Amino acid sequence: MTNSHLNPGSTVGILGGGQLGRMLSLAAARLGFNTHIYSPEPHCPAKSVSALATTAKYSDKKAIAEFARSVDIVTFEFENIPIDTAVTAAVETPLYPPIEALFAAQDRLTEKEFISDTAGVPVAPYHPVNNAFDAVRALKILGEKIVLKTRRLGYDGKGQSIVTNEDDAKSAYKFLGEVPCIAEQFIPFRREVSVIAARGLNGEVAAYPLIENEHRDHILHKSICPALGDGGDAQTHAIRILENLDYVGVIAVEFFELDGGKLIVNEIAPRVHNSGHWSMDAGCIDQFELHIRAITGWPLGGTNPPFKVEMINLIGDDVKQVPDLAKSPYTKIHLYGKSEIRPGRKMGHFNRLIF
């Protein structure tokens, strides 16, 4: 434990009330912590497993300050929290991961600059795009095929468009709302992989083995850990990113793996991540407990799973498979307590242990 570790009985404040907040709360409870969820949604997955809750807007600075004063530490479960909100909370109570990580992750241009220029980790060649002319120029500079992405608020493939000619470049910029964008060279990757890593209050670092991810309709479908192959520099890259941000907590680093094994970072998420859900049943410290340990100054514990695990998301109607899945041996089901099934909505996931 660090000198400034938090004891069981302390309260962890979590900004955000989705499934990540729910699983963080459950992990915190196992270590004897209380959790307090702050979310504008009165009924949400995290509030139904947490004794303390605030329902208010993220822009309500008075409510944010009061919430932060009532807890021993503040963390968050999504990276699009307004920076102002995070600063208001951090003035009252220690907030981890650090605000610099939010800055880096909220804007794809800042993110790419930080990863390549500060941390020295490879990213796809990119070019800022602020008008249709820039979009055409980016295509000339970067090659035959580019991906035009909005700098802010893109996720699960939303806010991006593939461009292969000048007319496409102009119409894609218009289609994306004529907002600040970034163009990236299209990377012909052989697979998508990620690393989940953590850094503690005293600088201790830990990383899980390489994870292989498969997407369907731009949404994560399956993650397998450990992935085939040794992962090359994946862990080293993730740890370099953690150290350059003076980070505390869990981070996810998503990579494209090229033929030949070279890794290029696609993006970082300064939080627990869907591609780390397999860890809940992997016989080592899971990513949610790892995050709670890191931010409360506890030792990080073991991140090496003794066996292989496959995680599959239950998206929309997939959740109707649960009665059948429940009959399978070595299948662990995790549901998020969402009553309404909607297409594309993450309702839960299951982990299959592979011995």
Q: How far apart are CA 211 and CA 194, in angstroms?
A: 5
Q: CB nearer to ligand AMP: give 27 or 225.
A: 225
Q: How far apart are CA 150 and CA 186, in angstroms?
A: 15
Longest dimension (CA), the chain: 60
Nearest distance, CB of residue 220 and ligand AMP, angstroms = 8
Letters for 263-292 (x = contact with ligand AMP by CB under 6 A, - = none) are ---xx-------------------------
Binders of ligand AMP among 109-138, rule CB under 6 A?
124
Q: CB nearer to ligand AMP: give 66 or 186.
A: 186
Nearest distance, CB of residue 52 and ligand AMP, angstroms = 33
Q: What are phi and psi of 147, to 5 degrees?
A: -115, 120
Which stretch in 8-16, 147-155, 168-176, 239-247 sits in contact with ligand AMP by CB under 6 A? 147-155
Q: How far apart are CA 197 and CA 249, in angstroms?
A: 8
| Residue 147 touching ligand AMP (CB under 6 A) | yes
Which of 140, 190, 218, 342 binds ligand AMP (CB under 6 A)? It is 218
Instruction: Give the type of residue at 329.
Output: P
Which of 57, 215, 216, 342 binds ligand AMP (CB under 6 A)? It is 215
Quick check: 39 and 17 in contact, CB under 8 A?
yes
The beta strand positions in 102-243, using DSSP E, are 126-129, 146-150, 160-163, 181-185, 191-199, 205-207, 211-216, 219-225
Which stretch in 19-27, 72-80, 180-188, 225-233 sits in contact with ligand AMP by CB under 6 A? 180-188
Tokens standing for 308? 């292989």
Which stretch in 87-95, 96-104, 184-192, 326-334 sits in contact with ligand AMP by CB under 6 A? 184-192
Residues present in the chain in total: 355
Tokens standing for 53? 């809750």
Residues that bind ligand AMP (CB under 6 A): 124, 147, 154-155, 157, 184, 186-187, 192, 215, 218, 266-267
